[in-house]
């Protein structure tokens, strides 16, 4: 065994792994989309496993409230106010110096995701909003790359590895037992809920262990995929609620055949083409960004949103709009939400910051 493989000895003992599997890992590139709780756990374990190149994309800085669950970071990162992607890169360099990390501090969107994903073999989801998940899924299906979904909020978590239908050309479609392709994210969740209606970690909290379980499941699936063990990839959606003591494996294999997915059946990539999802427009000279949703996703329930946001500061709501004051890292923002989901975030002229505030406090 050559010197640089010795550290992976316990992993190479696993069924379907061996030195060949390890060499595949060392030659692989994984994109970690979002480096919060899910992303930091995934990046840590994938680096330890010897995935040769990690592209870590995140637009945010580390805050004190992240440390409860984002295991890659510590108090010094908070004090130094380092972007998460860069802090992850520095930490991983000390964990496994054989791994190359590309830290991308940016708001991922339809104009840049293809560029950042160049050379990437697998997309791992550490995202905090549905819109970017649809975008990642579009890219995965269009370019025949696996997408490992994960989400955790409150006491619940979900995860699923997806091997897109690619018309027969992908490695997982060419096995002896036939194609191992799975439904895509849009097969399962065709339309997201109306904007501003979903709970987020910043409004309902999150159990660190739920995040840990989801991220660890994502890592297991990613390692199977990277080593070519496609038949071992779980065919069910992991769905757990740690407070309700429920861990389910939901069958989802029929979602492709029974559905009429615009993405993987009709190859319409609305999110990647910029036809769906939100847009962010600078409001000239007003230190504000307007966020708009292109698809008619239904009306926002301003009253219940107001109730959730009141824990963060003063909220005023009428039937026409809601106005909330949110303070983050000593910076105050005024967020105005209209019933159609349109929002104005005052206090920034950076669309990425405005999207972040929206995703964290209003949810998508």
Told to check if 148 binds Zn ion by CB under 5 A, we report no
Between CA 25 and CA 4 the distance in angstroms is: 13
Beta strands of the chain (E only): which ranges? Answer: 29-33, 53-57, 100-104, 122-125, 147-153, 156-162, 236-241, 246-251, 278-283, 288-293, 315-317, 322-328, 331-337, 343-346
Minimum CB separation of residue 116 from Zn ion in Å reads 23
Between CA 170 and CA 331 the distance in angstroms is: 47
- Cβ proximity to Zn ion: between 58 and 125 the closer is 125
Which segment (98-106, 144-152, 183-191, 197-205) binds Zn ion by CB under 5 A?
Answer: 183-191
Between CA 295 and CA 344 the distance in angstroms is: 18
Minimum CB separation of residue 161 from Zn ion in Å reads 14
- 25, 227 in Cβ contact below 8 A? yes
Which segment (8-16, 185-193, 204-212, 335-343) binds Zn ion by CB under 5 A?
Answer: 185-193
Q: How far apart are the first and last CA of the chain?
A: 49
Minimum CB separation of residue 181 from Zn ion in Å reads 10
Among 37, 62, 162, 184, the residue binding Zn ion under the rule CB under 5 A is 184
How many residues bind Zn ion, per CB under 5 A?
6
CB atoms within 10 A of CB 229: 17
Told to check if 104 binds Zn ion by CB under 5 A, we report no
Among 32, 264, 302, 309, the residue binding Zn ion under the rule CB under 5 A is 264
Q: Which two tokens stand for residue 186?
A: 């849009």
Minimum CB separation of residue 250 from Zn ion in Å reads 16
Between CA 129 and CA 106 the distance in angstroms is: 15
Minimum CB separation of residue 265 from Zn ion in Å reads 6
Told to check if 263 binds Zn ion by CB under 5 A, we report yes
- Cβ proximity to Zn ion: between 57 and 184 the closer is 184
> What is the per-residue burial (b if ≥16 Cβ within 10 Å, else e) of 328-350?
beeeebebbbbbebbbbbbbbbe
Which segment (50-58, 209-217, 225-233, 254-262) binds Zn ion by CB under 5 A?
Answer: 254-262
Told to check if 33 binds Zn ion by CB under 5 A, we report no
Which segment (69-77, 200-208, 258-266, 286-294) binds Zn ion by CB under 5 A?
Answer: 258-266
- Cβ proximity to Zn ion: between 76 and 267 the closer is 267
Told to check if 187 binds Zn ion by CB under 5 A, we report yes
Strand partners, 61: 83
Told to check if 255 binds Zn ion by CB under 5 A, we report no
Strand partners, 322: 317, 337
Interacting residue ranges for Zn ion, rule: CB under 5 A: 184, 186-187, 261, 263-264
């Amino acid at each position: 065994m050559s010197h640089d493989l010795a550290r992976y000895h316990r992993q190479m003992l696993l069924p379907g792994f061996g030195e060949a599997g390890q060499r595949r890992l060392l030659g692989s590139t994984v994109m970690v989309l979002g480096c919060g709780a899910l992303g930091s756990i995934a990046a840590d374990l994938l680096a330890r496993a010897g995935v040769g190149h990690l592209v870590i994309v995140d637009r945010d800085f580390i805050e004190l409230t992240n440390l409860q669950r984002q295991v890659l970071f510590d108090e010094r990162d908070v004090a130094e106010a380092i972007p998460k992607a860069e802090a992850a890169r520095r930490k991983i360099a000390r964990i496994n110096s054989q791994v190359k990390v590309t830290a991308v501090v940016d708001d991922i969107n339809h104009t840049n995701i293809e560029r950042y994903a160049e050379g990437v073999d697998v997309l791992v989801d550490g995202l905090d909003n549905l819109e970017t998940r649809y975008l990642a899924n579009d890219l995965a299906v269009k370019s025949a790359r696996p997408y490992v979904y994960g989400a955790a909020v409150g006491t619940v978590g979900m995860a699923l590895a997806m091997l897109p239908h690619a018309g027969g050309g992908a490695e997982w479609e060419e096995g002896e037992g036939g194609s191992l392709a799975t439904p895509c994210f849009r097969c399962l969740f065709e339309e997201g809920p109306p904007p501003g209606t979903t709970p987020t970690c910043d409004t309902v909290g999150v159990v660190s262990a739920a995040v840990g379980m989801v991220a660890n499941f994502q890592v297991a699936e990613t390692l199977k995929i990277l080593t070519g063990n496609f038949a071992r990839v779980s065919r069910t959606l992991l769905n757990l609620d740690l407070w309700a003591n429920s861990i389910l494996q939901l069958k989802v294999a029929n979602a492709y055949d029974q559905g009429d997915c615009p993405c993987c059946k009709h190859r319409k990539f609305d999110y990647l083409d910029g036809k769906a999802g939100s847009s962010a427009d600078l409001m000239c000279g007003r230190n504000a960004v307007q966020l708009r949703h292109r698809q008619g996703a239904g009306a926002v329930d301003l009253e219940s949103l107001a109730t959730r946001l009141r824990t963060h500061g003063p909220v005023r709501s009428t039937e026409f709009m809601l106005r909330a004051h949110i303070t983050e890292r000593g910076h105050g923002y005024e967020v105005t939400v209209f019933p159609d989901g349109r929002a104005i975030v005052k206090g920034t002229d950076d669309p990425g910051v405005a999207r972040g505030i929206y995703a964290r406090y209003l949810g998508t």
